[in-house]
């Protein structure tokens, strides 16, 4: 029986992991004849299949007001409680409207019951599920206990109630094994592990005319090596390791390109990274001001590219992250058949490395072996081609759409057969 699935989150727009993975889930559900509808505070989905409620966006002024008064504080004023309850009641009413308007039969909750960026939204969903006994699937990307900024707070009652809730008709999905164990330990909840995926059965299209000039736009010549770090400029991305590796390559033709801006986490780290690169003699190019969530011309008439425009032009991808919930950039490098150097972040060590990918790895620092492998990948096309082909086929086996389809069919079958 085909389901009418309601995707719910604070935002479905742009290139964040939640927005990207939810689109893949909807694509696979569509292939099995399930219809998807969208609810959130910021949406770039079809208006005909969406309900946009601005108050559910984590950046909405009312939520920001609450945010500033619950995190980093240990006492909650009565007015804060009242405003949380008032916004919760309003949002819950819009959830009833959403389900009624699109005749939703299954809710798919994308990180809204996981990381408490919007507490009233999480509470509203939890109460809605309890009041309607509607089945749901909660797709968890990053829990609040994984983020230091949520450790001091005055809302432990709400975190226990809704992030995530213990609802008998709610199934839980996590993206790595550690999260699965922590969810069981902290909440007593079982879950299914569904890693992030990519459509490896359909290789990427060739470079088109729009993105053909991207190397020139970055300022690179045909002899230069584009060393890409496809991350935001934040401390957990370990960009200092990328600088150390490029310096160790000892090749002035190697240019380090960072694809994203810092986002909302301040300018201190980007300034420190720029200063470090200058001190180390590494040619560092920030290109985040020219990479967006869609192709268009900006206010200066310059082309705006998407991240996937960069990969086909990269000679080597660096992924020196200290922590990742999964690691979308890893799959993207495999998909575009670009060699990648990885720092052994915890999810890589436990969930991905045992699969047998051929990837030079660093263990928190750049050593001679990693440098030697990186040089060989840049200088030996046959060795590089063999490695990326091996990784592509392995990724297709473990992180392709067929795995996601099997998992979604199992979750929906659990619902139709009464869990």
More confident residue, 17 or 122: 122
Q: What is the pLDDT of residue 267?
A: 72
Q: What does the pLDDT average to over 63-87? A: 97
Average pLDDT over residues 127-144: 96
Over residues 256-270, mean pLDDT:
79
Please give the pLDDT value at position 119. Answer: 98
At residue 201 the predicted structure's pLDDT band, cuts being 50, 70 and 90, is very high
Q: Which residue has the tokens 């020139």?
A: 216
Residue 378 has pLDDT above 80, yes or no: yes
d(CA 331, CA 354): 15
pLDDT for 232: 87
Mean pLDDT of the chain: 95
Q: What is the mean pLDDT of residues 127-145?
A: 96
**Domains of the chain: residue spans and CATH:** 4-197+401-416 (3.40.50.2000), 214-398 (3.40.50.2000)
| C-alpha to C-alpha distances, 249 to 252, 338, 384, nearest whole angstrom | 9, 18, 17
Inform me whether the pLDDT recorded for 249 exceeds 70. yes
Residues ≥6 apart with Cβ < 8 Å to 158: 84, 116, 119, 122, 123
pLDDT at 418 over 80: no
Distance between CA atoms of residues 204 and 13, nearest Å: 22
**pLDDT score, position 263:** 61
**Residue 416 in this model has a pLDDT that exceeds 90:** no
CA distance 20 to 31: 17
How much of the chain exceeds pLDDT 90, in percent?
91
Do residues 152 and 135 make contact, with C-beta atoms less than 8 angstroms apart?
Answer: no
Looking at residue 152, its pLDDT comes to 97
For the cut 60, the answer to whether the pLDDT of residue 91 exceeds it is yes
Q: How far apart are CA 322 and CA 345, in angstroms?
A: 5
Mean pLDDT across 262-285: 86
**Three-class DSSP labels, the chain:** CCCEEEEECCEECCCCHHHHHHHHHHHHHHHCCCEEEEEECEECCCHHHEEECHHHCCCCHHHHHHHHHHECCCCCCHHHHHHHHHHHHHHHHHHHHHHHHHCCCEEEEECCCCCCCCHHHHHHHHHHHHHHCCCEEEECCCCHHHCHHHCCECCHHHHHHHCCCCCCCEEEEECCHHHHHHHHHHHCCCCEECCCCCCCCCCCCCCCCCCCCHHHHHCCCCCCEEEEECCCCCHHHCHHHHHHHHHHHCCCCEEEEECCCCCCCCCHHHHHHHHHHHHHCCCEEECHHHEECCCEECCCCCEEEEHHHHHHHCCEEEECCCCCCCCHHHHHHHHCCCCEEEECCHHHHHHHHHHCCCCCEECCCCCHHHHHHHHHHHHCHHHHHHHHHHHHHHHHHHHCHHHHHHHHHHHHHHHHCCC
Q: pLDDT (tens digit, 9 = 90+) per residue, 221-230?
A: 999 999 999 9
Least confident of 154-158, 266-270, 274-278: 266-270
Arithmetic mean of pLDDT, 29-33:
95
Cβ contact 413:1 at 8 Å: no
Give the separation between CA 74 and CA 84, rounded to whole angstroms. Answer: 16
| pLDDT score recorded for residue 419 | 58
As a whole-number percent, the residues of the chain with pLDDT over 70 amount to 99
Say whether pLDDT at 172 is over 60: yes
| pLDDT score at 294 | 87
How far, in Å, CA of 409 to CA of 402, rounded?
Answer: 10
Question: Residue 265 — very low, low, confident or very high, per pLDDT cuts 50/70/90?
Answer: low
Q: What is the pLDDT of residues 51-60, one digit of tens each?
A: 999 999 999 9
Contact 122, 112 (CB under 8 A): yes
Rounded distance, CA 201 to CA 306, Å?
A: 22
Across residues 308-331, what is the average pLDDT? 95
């Amino acid at each position: 029986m085909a389901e009418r699935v309601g995707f719910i989150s604070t935002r479905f727009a742009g290139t964040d992991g939640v927005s990207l993975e939810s689109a893949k889930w909807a694509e696979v559900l569509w292939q099995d004849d399930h219809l998807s509808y969208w609810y959130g505070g910021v949406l770039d989905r079809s208006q005909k299949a969406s309900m946009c409620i601005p108050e559910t966006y984590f950046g909405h002024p009312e939520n920001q007001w609450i945010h500033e008064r619950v995190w980093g504080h240990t006492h909650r004023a009565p007015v804060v409680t009242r405003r949380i309850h008032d916004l919760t009641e309003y949002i819950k009413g819009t959830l009833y409207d959403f389900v009624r308007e699109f005749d939703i039969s299954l809710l798919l909750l994308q990180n809204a019951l996981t990381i408490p960026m919007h507490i009233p939204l999480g509470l509203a969903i939890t109460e809605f599920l309890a009041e309607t006994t509607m089945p749901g699937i909660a797709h968890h990307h990053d829990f609040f206990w994984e983020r230091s900024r949520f450790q001091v707070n005055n809302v432990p009652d709400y975190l226990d109630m809704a992030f995530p809730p213990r609802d008998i008709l709610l199934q839980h999905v996590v993206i790595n094994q550690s999260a699965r164990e922590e969810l069981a330990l902290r909440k007593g909840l079982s879950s299914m592990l569904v890693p992030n995926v990519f459509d490896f059965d359909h290789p990427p299209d060739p470079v088109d005319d729009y993105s053909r000039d991207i190397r020139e736009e970055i300022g690179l010549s045909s002899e230069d090596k584009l060393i890409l770090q496809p991350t935001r400029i934040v401390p957990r991305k370990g960009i200092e390791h990328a600088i150390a590796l490029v310096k160790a390559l000892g090749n002035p033709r190697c240019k380090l390109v960072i694809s994203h801006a810092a986002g909302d986490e301040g300018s201190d780290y980007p300034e420190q990274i720029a200063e470090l690169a200058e001190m180390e003699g590494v040619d560092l190019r920030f290109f985040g001001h020219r990479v967006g969530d869609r192709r268009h011309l900006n206010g200066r008439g310059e082309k705006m590219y998407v991240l996937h425009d960069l990969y086909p032009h990269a000679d080597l991808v660096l992924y020196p992250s200290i922590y990742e919930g999964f690691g979308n950039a890893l799959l993207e490098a495999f998909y575009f058949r670009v060699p990648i150097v990885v720092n052994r972040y915890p999810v890589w060590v436990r969930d991905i490395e045992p699969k047998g990918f051929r990837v030079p790895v660093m263990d928190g620092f750049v050593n001679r072996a990693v440098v030697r492998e990186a040089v060989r990948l840049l200088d030996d096309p046959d060795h590089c081609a063999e490695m990326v082909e091996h990784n592509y086929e392995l990724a297709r086996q473990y992180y392709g759409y067929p795995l996601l389809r099997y998992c979604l069919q199992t979750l929906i079958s659990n619902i139709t057969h009464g869990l």
